[in-house]
Amino acid sequence: MKYAFSTLGLPGSPLHRSAALAADHGFDGLELRAHPDEPLHPDSPPADRTAARRTLTAAGVAALGVAGYARVAAAGPDAPVLAELRALVRLAADLEAPYVRVFPGGGDLTGTAADAHAVRRLRAAAPFAERHGVRILLETHDSHRTGAAAARVLDRVAHPGAGALWDVLHTWLGGEPPERSRRVLAAHLGYLQVKDVASAEDLTPLGLGAGVLPLARAVAQAVAAAPVDGWLCWEYEKRWYPEAAALPGQLARGREHLAHLVADAGPREPR
């Protein structure tokens, strides 16, 4: 397996510092938060994209994915959502990142209506993503927080340009065991996003292994479902919880913990 962490854990940090921290602590890549208050986002000019790619290459670190904020199941017209998806895909392609993260964002819509929006938009965007060498990943989050809910959409999309990002926090909050998440997402899985928290009532990020999330079970399931060069990504949500401990001091221990979880997962199933 390969290891990444999200730049969400380093609010305000320039890319060269995030890349150096990743390289210095044995991480293979970065999940890049693509928001206007970050160094890279869909409106970044070509020169910034080229410079970012050079920065990552110089550090020996890959761009795992572009973490966008498009909401594919949200109410409203399709055109703005599809334009946002295309912009995120172009950014990912320019950074040589294989994935784009999107949210469901179905809000107060019925499950049927939210599913219909997501299926229609992902079906429209997936071929564009595939042509650019990128896969759009629907994160288990908000209106579709379980693997079963995400798979309900992706089974209907049925295109290699669309897949799933399994966020272990949200499937756990949705009451879905990791074994069930893996079973329904296996055909769609892009990568597993890990984190840890104290409880369902206190989502302040903790170091990996210091909280209550079933990380060992989730990693074991992801390892079984992923290719040998698959990814695990640590999302430490420091930006939303400024009182949380700083991420840099936890990177070495977090990387070691992930390696132990992968080793403890045992041999892969024949595939």
Q: What is the pLDDT of residues 43-61, one digit of tens each?
A: 999 999 999 999 999 999 9
- CATH code for the part of the protein at 2-264: 3.20.20.150
The answer on pLDDT for 270 being more than 50 is: no
Q: What is the pLDDT of residues 166-177, one digit of tens each?
A: 999 999 999 999
**Annotated domain spans of the chain:** 2-264
User: Would you state the structure tokens that stand for residue 249, as one six-digit string?
Assistant: 């001091």
Q: CA 98, 103, 104 angle in degrees (round to 5)?
A: 130
**Identity of the residue numbered 259:** A
Q: Return the SS3 of 3.
A: strand
The answer on pLDDT for 35 being more than 90 is: yes
Q: What is the pLDDT of residues 203-242, one digit of tens each?
A: 999 999 999 999 999 999 999 988 878 999 999 999 999 9
Q: What is the rounded CA–CA span in Å between residue 230 and residue 193? A: 12
Yes or no: say if 89 and 129 are a contact pair by the CB < 8 Å rule: yes
Q: What is the rounded CA–CA span in Å between residue 160 and residue 187? A: 10
Q: What is the pLDDT of residues 56-113, one digit of tens each?
A: 999 999 999 999 999 999 999 999 999 999 999 999 999 999 999 999 999 989 999 9
Q: In sequence order, what are the residues at sequence separation of 6 or more whose Cβ sits closer than 8 angstroms to the Cβ of residue 248?
A: 10, 21
